[in-house]
């Protein structure tokens, strides 16, 4: 799991998260993410604008079920969740052994969930269910 979170962190630094700082006038979205009532220990939440000209995607980590996303684009956004767990198996890549991981996000949420973001601070809890 640590390798997964590290890879996500690198993607954030290289991509949409590079150089981001909290702007007091930009929308902030925060809350919890659970699956069947259990918090997601480690993961990623991404907000992608659905309307052209409203900004860029922003991502932030989910840690112990909590997230805080700053500079989220205003308007309709698609929210996607990413979280993995280790299977107990390993695989070999470039001569190094890595733990095998699988997504814990229920299949019905793979396409994302839509929400509307307005100015200021928004509290949004996501209660995902596997059934």
- Name the domain count of the chain: 1
> Tell me, what CATH number does 34's domain have?
2.60.40.1120
How confident is the model at residue 82, as a pLDDT?
97
Domain that holds residue 13: 2-128
How confident is the model at residue 15, as a pLDDT?
44
Query: Which residues make Cβ contacts (< 8 Å) with residue 40, sequence separation at least 6?
Result: 33, 34, 62, 65, 81, 83, 104
The pLDDT tens digits of the residues spanning 48-70 come to 999 888 889 999 999 999 999 99
Residue 48, CA atoms < 13 Å, CB-side half-sphere: 9
Q: Kindly give the parts of the chain with pLDDT less than 50.
A: 6, 9-23
How confident is the model at residue 33, as a pLDDT?
97
How confident is the model at residue 50, as a pLDDT?
95
What global pTM score does this model have?
Answer: 0.77
Compute, in degrees rounded to 10, the torsion defined by CA atoms 69, 73, 78, 81. -20
């Amino acid at each position: 799991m640590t390798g997964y979170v590290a890879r996500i962190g690198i993607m954030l630094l290289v991509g949409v998260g590079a150089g981001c700082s909290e702007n007091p006038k930009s929308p902030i979205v925060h809350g919890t993410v659970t699956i069947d009532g259990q918090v997601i220990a480690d993961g990623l939440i991404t907000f992608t604008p659905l309307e052209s000209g409203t900004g860029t995607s922003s991502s932030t980590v989910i840690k112990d079920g909590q997230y805080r996303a700053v500079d989220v684009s205003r308007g309709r956004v698609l929210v996607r969740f990413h979280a993995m767990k280790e299977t107990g198996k390993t695989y070999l890549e470039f001569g190094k052994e890595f733990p095998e991981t699988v997504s814990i996000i229920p299949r019905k949420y793979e396409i994302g969930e839509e929400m509307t973001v307005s100015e200021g601070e928004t509290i949004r809890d996501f209660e995902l269910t596997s059934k």
